[in-house]
Amino acid sequence: MVQIYLNNTLTRRKEEFKPIDACNVRMYVCGPTVYDRAHLGNGKTPVSYDVLYRLLCYVYGKDHVTYVSNITDVDDKILNKHKETGKPIREITEETYNWYIEDMKKLGNLEPNARPRATDYIQDMIEIVKRLLDNGHAYEAEGHVLFDVDSMPNYGFLSGRSMKEMLAGARVDVADYKKNPADFVLWKPSDANEPGWESPWGYGRPGWHLECSAMSSKLLGNDFDIHGGGNDLIFPHHENECAQSCCAFEGSKFAHYWVHSGMLMVDGVKMSKSLGNFYTLDEVLAKAPAEALRLLFLTAHYHQPFNFTFEGLSNAKNVLDKFYNALLKNKEIKVENVEPDERLIEALADDLNTPLALTYLHESVNNLNKAQTEAEKIKYKSELLANAYMLGLLYQDPEEWFRGENGKDESSEIEEKIRQRAEAKKNKDWATADKIRNELKEKGIILEDSPTGTTWKKI
């Protein structure tokens, strides 16, 4: 069996992945808070864990892997959006959720086994709070229930920060009713016009950290294998998840491997609305195909900072043009069910080394382009697609790829031009045939003639 190695934030080193149960490998990844359009970072993180999910399925079998990625649909950001726009909260969350799911499909991400919504697990959250109160790790104060960080001797073990560092590095809500400024909210009161649920502590809603603890334990168990998310979540979100889950369920280690993706930057600096370099996914995908953005994400190691540029996006599009052109030239070649290149799998198994894995994908494309016999073409096309699947690439029909976003209307017009050109050539009207070719070229359409007919692609 292939041995996987992952960079584990918990131990601060790359280590061998040993699942709790190889017949039931479990992974939880923090999903979005659905209040607005997903931004570039919301796209990068799921792509990384989609590749990890594909690898886990390859190694352990799809039926032995459970991948959960949540949706946060109760949060102060959603409430603020409601107050800002006047839209009903349910309308905001539904619209944003649908946008997000559509973006994930465009990026070629496989659907997780479950996408739990926080609002469906409120009772489970209440039960965790009860446990923490009963065992002395939480207390009530002025309608709130707070986690008592001093009750946990090793609080801060995930991030490796001291209490002083945690207080300095976090936006701590200062409140007189807190025993320690670092104590965090498990449950807080809601006004009558705010989202809320009845609880033993009155009408209110859960704290953000509590939501993921409840959903992960309910769907994956109190102990599971991998917890993922962006490295901006290590503290306070993941730290506090660890604290409340380990203290609520005696003997639990919660997640055994913490895998975090690196920060996303734009043109070398952190993405920020104040800097004018903040981009939503739909803004970027209006300029280039989603698959080009996915490829661009994969050119950097997931654990390292990633720098987005539109030049890089354009280059990724050009690379995919090369890949799809190889498939288009061999569109009549049938593929066989083959295993991906062992070297590519080894690269992914080494802490998801996608830059190295991509070199083997390029090699497959070059082999297909150089193939002479039908047997060679079958072999290399099959290998190319098997390799591409592991990275979530080349999931489109090559003809559709080159037709672009305008769809069938533009396609039918071009096909009609090709028919007219063929008729002109049949009548030896070379001037008209050349004129049609040049007209299409000016529109960015390249024609390729072969013994079996004429195909076209965009440039």
Q: Is the pTM here over 0.75, yes or no?
A: yes
Co-location of 412 and 385 in the same domain: no
Instruction: State which of 232, 261, 290 marks the end of a domain.
Output: 261
User: Do 116 and 165 share a domain, yes or no?
Assistant: yes
Where among 367, 396, 425 does a domain terminate?
Answer: 396
Burial of 213 (0-12, 13-18, 19+ CB in 10 A): buried
Regarding whether 425 and 390 lie in a shared domain, the answer is: no
Those residues whose C-beta lies under 8 Å from the C-beta of residue 92, and which sit 6 or more positions away, are: 34, 35, 78, 81, 82, 85
Which pLDDT score is estimated for 245? 98
Q: Does one domain contain both 126 and 223?
A: yes
Phi, psi of 116 (to 5 degrees): -65, 145
- CATH code for the domain of 329: 1.10.730.10
Count of structural domains within the chain: 3
**Same-domain pairing of 56 and 86:** yes
Q: Are residues 171 and 64 in the same domain?
A: yes
Domain ranges, residue 444: 401-458
Q: Answer yes or no: do 432 and 335 share one domain.
A: no
| Domain end call among 209, 227, 261 | 261
Residues of the chain with pLDDT under 50: 406-408
Residue at 256: amino acid letter: H
Query: Do residues 110 and 170 share a domain?
Result: yes
Please indicate, yes or no, whether residues 75 and 187 belong to a single structural domain of this protein: yes
For residue 78, how many other CB atoms are within 10 A of its CB?
A: 20
Asked whether the beta carbons of 210 and 133 are under 8 A apart, the reply is no
Q: Are residues 106 and 119 in the same domain?
A: yes
Q: Name 55's Cβ contacts closer than 8 Å, sequence gap at least 6.
A: 4, 345, 348, 349, 352, 390
Q: Is 129 in the same domain as 201?
A: yes
- pLDDT in the model for residue 407: 44
Q: What is the pLDDT of residue 395?
A: 94
Distance CA 323, CA 389 (A): 13
**Phi and psi of 378, rounded to 5°?**
-60, -45
CATH code for position 210 = 3.40.50.620
Residue 407 sits in the same domain as residue 438:
yes
pLDDT score recorded for residue 42: 95
